[in-house]
Structure 1
Amino acid sequence: MFSTEYDVIVVGGGHAGSEAAAAAANMGSKTLLITMNLQNIAQMSCNPAMGGIAKGQIVREIDAMGGYSGIVSDTSAIQFKMLNKSKGPAMWSPRVQSDRMRFAEDWRLMLEKTKNLDFYQDMVSGILVKGEKIVGVKTSLGLTINTKAVILTNGTFLNGLIHIGEKSFGGGRSGERAATGITKDLVDLGFEAGRMKTGTPPRVDGRSLDFSKMIEQPGDENPAKFSYLPITKPLVEQRSCHMTYTSVQVHDLLREGFDRSPMFNGRIESIGPRYCPSIEDKINRFADKDRHQLFVEPEGWNTIEYYVNGFSTSLPEDVQYKALSSVKGFENVKFFRPGYAIEYDYFPPTQLQQTLETKLVSGLYFAGQINGTTGYEEAACQGLMAGINAALKVQEREEFVLNRDEAYIGVLIDDLITKGTEEPYRMFTSRAEYRTLLRQDNADFRLTEKSYKLGLASQERLRVMEDKKKASEAFVSFFKETSVAPEEINPVLKGKKSAEVKQSGKMFKIFARPNISLSDLRVIPSVENYIVENNLKDEVLEQTEIQVKYAGYIEKEKNNADKLHRLENIKIPSNFDYSKLKSMSMEAREKLNKIQPRTVSQASRVSGVSPADISVLLVYMGR
């Protein structure tokens, strides 16, 4: 069946695996995607949504690079929201509510149209290594498939164990078996493994809910979209979500089941996601709160199934039902299935290089929850980068790495391989020190040309980006070069309670005022005429406004990034022996010997390494 050797084999068909397979195949590598169930490709195992705080920026970056997540998010969206619009543009984050079934279907169909990509349904039970190099995989059916590179994207399936109250059983997801064999092979090779936990809430029958008792949460009045390509369109119709609250009574009912909770009776020892805790964890940790928000989210356009966001739990099913029935609007609730927790194997990501290739085995890559992350978006971007670098390695081309000032993807990977993680890692805007540069609106400016040079982003994608960039730069120049008379601008300034001007001046200076928006200036004929004559799209208008109003902040962050690059340019020899630097602290020597950072900049970000330790390193290196 598999007489030929593949360039790349991707193990797992979730969000990481799907992006990895698409990237490797689109870059010309003969790729095989092996997954335990081909009907569940890109399954939304948890909430039916893409994007959100910082996550939306990642989806935009994946799209700018030529990945599929942004396109599929658009084609399967049922609601769009731009979060944090009351804050600065660095915080704006797009999010869509998705049709769960359509999302998986669209992903499957896009992958089937991808050249160089084959599919096979089976469980990979082990990896084959010769010397220190990957040579193939073995499956539960006894097949051996040869390859030059392997990307493991096993999600929650590696020795997955599902918990509901006092019951536990093997599984990688509700209704699906766990994957076995791979962890043993990796540990035997010398990899360090650990266990993590995540959870999911009950799914309920929407016909049994009383939405009149809840607060409606509609989408944006003028919805945008994720993909920069014109092949997708913004939503015309949208479905609303709803919000309700728990109560003291609900909390008391939940506490009645704590003695049977696997979280509190010791049966779950692994650490769950800090920023997406279970409901029992929330009422235990925040005992002073008498209520918590619940978001009631439709699973699609036509289905009656709803997702109860905020009620993730592993309590016994009778306790879940009793407590949820006491929530306003849920008095007559019918369950589709109870919530559950799942424990699974992961591998501390400090064992990886910046390309996501393992340090121990050449040609073996890890992406997604196997690296200790949580979230579809975090998984997808890792899959994209692993797919790119696996293809580059097979083609004997230079590796591709994104820096912290170039993408949230770069921040995520650098955090993982440099600092590691002992709890499921989730991306936030606060993790990015250059977030003013890493906005959702300019991911195409930052990344599309890089991806095009790799052979991943298409010519069409590059053209769309260049047209947008040219148009926005020209509009910024228009404001810098065009003067406005006092009699023309003062009525606008007076209406906005902004200081009036006494003589003509460049419009850029007026536009830069914090309380003056582009919509205010469109009453000036020259501005409106320019927009109409050049047929400027909303994305160009948004980009122009950001470039004018935040020019100072952007320039400051660019200067800070340039300083960082000076340390990034100081390379550290591979397998450098830090133990000989006796002036460095013991902790720093131990950590740096383990992580083996590639640059002084990366070394400075290792937990436990002080500025004094970096000074010692710089002196040793003649700096």
Structure 2
Amino acid sequence: MSLFQDKYDVIVVGGGHAGCEASASAANMGMKTLLITMSLQNIAQMSCNPAMGGIAKGQIVREIDALGGYSAIVSDNSAIQFKMLNMSKGPAMWSPRCQSDRMRFAEFWRMMLENTPNLDFYQEMVSGLIFEGDEIRGVRTNLGIEIYSKTVILTNGTFLNGLIHIGEKQFGGGRAGESASYGITEDLVKIGFESGRMKTGTPPRVDGRSLDYSKMEEQPGDKNPQKFSYLNVTKPLVDQRSCYMTYTSNEVHDLLREGFDRSPMFNGRIKSIGPRYCPSIEDKINRFADKERHQIFVEPEGWNTVEVYVNGFSTSLPEDVQFRALRSVAGFENVKFFRPGYAIEYDYFPPTQLKHTLETKLIKGLYFAGQINGTTGYEEAAAQGLMAGINAALEVQGKEPFILKRDEAYIGVLIDDLITKGTEEPYRMFTSRAEYRTLLRQDNADFRLTEKSFNIGLASTERMKRMEYKKTASENFVQFFRETSVKTEEANPILESKGSDLMKQPDKMFKVFSRPQLADEDILKFKKVQEYINTNNLDKEIIDQAIIQVKYSGYIEKEKNNADKINRLEDIIIPENFDYDKVKSMSFEGREKMKKIRPRTISQASRISGVAPSDISILLIFMGR
């Protein structure tokens, strides 16, 4: 008798951040779902730094939450510190970030998944895929067990033929202490997929009891910390743990250089490309030789552990070189290692082989999410997992796919960048990648996405009601600003203190408060504003939302108009089987790129590298537009 007699709707391979969100979303949409992972004890493991969010990444976590994913709730329940980054800039740049308790994070994810209906678990290595023509039929495990499913989502992280490097030593592994996964790459390449290799790295973990924090700069959390989730399931932190900052020096750099001849990065053993924006320490001192020092962030791994993550010291140098160099960093003179840093090479599949749904173009029902698509970062992986799970569920239900546009979510930017432009180095999200970042703020992700998710059966009724209340309350507050006048004698002292022109006659609050010189706290000084807030019992989230709508209304409207113009091209669908070879007047490069990417819309076609504006004009004419 087989262990698995029934056919699943969705099988998710891999229990990292992408796999967890994929499993949760598919199961919550009513799909009979199976999560297969090599180690159930390591579900949602934070393989690298113990933190969630950050610049652009924090926006993604809030979007996942607005859509009904779990990452924000887990982060809030396992946070040890919270910060809103970039508060000196405009709200488009504000980015939430939390330090996490690594063990609690994984534990809470496991508990949430175990309490999710429709979700089964199985611990084993998937070593092959079962195809029937150009459709997926299931997976095959190392024990030879065949498990059948209507759809399969691969979220293999760094495990596909993973190879760990520490100095001259190298050995197979998906991460420290865990074996690599073999067989899947070979099956995919055999049927026509293109694969490549990427590299990432991680720093040493050390014993916090051996550090001298008096020689470092303390990095505390916010005085009034917020949280990630829009739901009221947790309260903001009261107690927080501090991080610390120290620096490398010329002495540290010299000690590191002594090991360069033994470094797999420099002696040719590592040939794949690592993340440009999170380089190893040896790469930093080699590329930026004029810099006398680099920042080292000392991050605690949890509430009750002494283990510390040495952020900024990612390395694949020999362990003895790592140790000597780190002991020359201020505060690390007596450091004890828990484990050395290492680099890891792994297989990925260029994401131009995917549709916007993250389904592969070659095989129906097969989806890729996370580092298999060439991305780096927990948040980017979780977002892809969520979207793959949603679209696998919709595919099984025979419904229209769920695709987010670039003006609707950072998640939309992420996926569109991947499948349209591809990536030859680990892709990381930045605010600069989003042309509509004033629209895609972290504060309004629920306004942008919750109703969309509710309509496909993922976001809960509770989420929808909370969003509707917040939206109505903030819109009413904005309307109050539009309708209520402020007198000169109340406004002018505040305007004068801010160096803003004085009012000559009473004016509407909306116009006065849109002045760039006025900060949020200045607006809250006005008596009528305070009375409105107290009468309507408004919380900080609603107040902040309304003030942003007032102060940045001009920028928001301008971006909406720009997005509307571009979205007209999003509405022009290119037929799936369109024959580009018939468009003789198109440039050769443009034609070849479009044949490879198979863009879904004219707008997507215009974003393909190598496609000229003239190619788009010719295509529009050919299509009768």
Q: Same fold (TM over 0.5)?
A: yes
1:33-63 residue CA offsets vs partner (Å, 9 max, x unmatched) = 0000000000000000000000000000000
- Paired residue for 1:100? 102
Matches within 5 A, 1:332-481: 332-481=334-483
What is the CA distance between 1:498 and its match in structure 2? 1.9
What is the CA distance between 1:295 and its match in structure 2? 0.2
CA distance in 1, matches of 2:520, 2:575: 51
Is residue 578 from structure 1 mapped to residue 585 from structure 2 by the alignment?
A: no
CA distance in 1, matches of 2:621, 2:207: 66
- Paired residue for 1:31? 33
CA distance in 1, matches of 2:570, 2:251: 55
Does the Cα contact within 8 Å between 1:492 and 1:521 map onto a contact in 2? no
CA distance in 1, matches of 2:225, 2:264: 42
- Paired residue for 2:321? 319
Matches within 5 A, 1:143-222: 143-222=145-224
- Paired residue for 2:123? 121
Q: 1:558 aligns with which of 553, 557, 560?
A: 560
CA distance in 2, matches of 1:523, 1:543: 17
- Paired residue for 1:300? 302
SS at match of 2:96: strand
Amino acid at match of 2:298: V
SS at match of 1:126: strand
What is the CA distance between 1:491 and its match in structure 2? 2.1
CA distance in 1, matches of 2:536, 2:246: 46
What is the CA distance between 1:579 and its match in structure 2? 2.0
User: Which consecutive residues of structure 2, in runs of 5 or more, have no partner in the other structure?
Assistant: none
What is the CA distance between 1:488 and its match in structure 2? 2.1
CA distance in 2, matches of 1:524, 1:84: 26
SS at match of 1:344: strand
1:504-529 residue CA offsets vs partner (Å, 9 max, x unmatched) = 11111111111113322333321111
What is the CA distance between 1:99 and its match in structure 2? 0.2
Q: 4+ residue runs of structure 1 moved beyond 3 angstroms?
A: none
Does the Cα contact within 8 Å between 1:299 and 1:307 map onto a contact in 2? yes
- Paired residue for 2:618? 616
CA distance in 2, matches of 1:141, 1:535: 60
1:127-186 residue CA offsets vs partner (Å, 9 max, x unmatched) = 100011111100011110010000000000000000000000000000000000000100
1:302-344 residue CA offsets vs partner (Å, 9 max, x unmatched) = 1000000000000000000000000000000000000000000
CA distance in 1, matches of 2:258, 2:519: 54
CA distance in 2, matches of 1:538, 1:40: 37
SS at match of 2:9: strand
1:199-228 residue CA offsets vs partner (Å, 9 max, x unmatched) = 000000000000000000000111000000
CA distance in 2, matches of 1:371, 1:125: 19
CA distance in 1, matches of 2:523, 2:36: 55
CA distance in 2, matches of 1:575, 1:249: 61
SS at match of 2:222: coil
1:554-601 residue CA offsets vs partner (Å, 9 max, x unmatched) = 001100110111111111111222122221111111110000001000
SS at match of 1:138: strand
Is residue 490 from structure 1 mapped to residue 488 from structure 2 by the alignment?
A: no
User: Which consecutive residues of structure 1, in runs of 5 or more, have no partner in the other structure?
Assistant: none
SS at match of 1:79: strand
CA distance in 2, matches of 1:598, 1:288: 46
SS at match of 2:517: coil
Is residue 526 from structure 1 mapped to residue 515 from structure 2 by the alignment?
A: no
CA distance in 1, matches of 2:436, 2:394: 28
- Paired residue for 2:551? 549
Is residue 499 from structure 1 mapped to residue 501 from structure 2 by the alignment?
A: yes
CA distance in 1, matches of 2:53, 2:200: 19
Does the Cα contact within 8 Å between 1:517 and 1:545 map onto a contact in 2? no
Amino acid at match of 1:484: V
CA distance in 2, matches of 1:449, 1:23: 16
1:217-255 residue CA offsets vs partner (Å, 9 max, x unmatched) = 000111000000011111000000000000000000000
SS at match of 1:300: coil
CA distance in 2, matches of 1:296, 1:588: 48
- Paired residue for 1:264? 266
CA distance in 1, matches of 2:524, 2:36: 55
CA distance in 2, matches of 1:594, 1:101: 43
1:376-426 residue CA offsets vs partner (Å, 9 max, x unmatched) = 000000000000000000111111100000000000000000000000000
Does the Cα contact within 8 Å between 1:280 and 1:313 map onto a contact in 2? yes
Amino acid at match of 1:375: G
Q: 2:602 aligns with which of 600, 603, 608?
A: 600
Amino acid at match of 1:52: G
Q: 1:281 aligns with which of 280, 283, 287?
A: 283
CA distance in 1, matches of 2:568, 2:486: 42
What is the CA distance between 1:485 and its match in structure 2? 1.4
CA distance in 1, matches of 2:174, 2:581: 42
What is the CA distance between 1:110 and its match in structure 2? 0.2
Indicate the percent of aligned positions where both proteins have the same amino acid.
78
SS at match of 2:449: helix
CA distance in 1, matches of 2:523, 2:154: 53
CA distance in 1, matches of 2:159, 2:268: 22
CA distance in 2, matches of 1:557, 1:525: 33
CA distance in 1, matches of 2:183, 2:84: 43
Amino acid at match of 1:416: L
CA distance in 2, matches of 1:297, 1:175: 22
Amino acid at match of 1:383: G
CA distance in 2, matches of 1:584, 1:316: 53
CA distance in 2, matches of 1:249, 1:579: 60
Instruction: Say which is worse superposed, 388-397 or 488-497, in terms of deviation.
Output: 488-497
Instruction: Say which is worse superposed, 516-525 or 252-261, in terms of deviation.
Output: 516-525
Q: How many residues align?
A: 623
CA distance in 2, matches of 1:313, 1:522: 49
Does the Cα contact within 8 Å between 1:317 and 1:338 map onto a contact in 2? yes
- Paired residue for 2:87? 85
What is the CA distance between 1:497 and its match in structure 2? 2.5
SS at match of 2:529: helix
Q: 1:54 aligns with which of 49, 56, 63?
A: 56
SS at match of 1:427: coil
CA distance in 1, matches of 2:471, 2:159: 43
Amino acid at match of 2:592: E
CA distance in 2, matches of 1:169, 1:488: 71
CA distance in 2, matches of 1:281, 1:502: 60
Instruction: Say which is worse superposed, 579-588 or 107-116, in terms of deviation.
Output: 579-588
Does the Cα contact within 8 Å between 1:368 and 1:382 map onto a contact in 2? yes
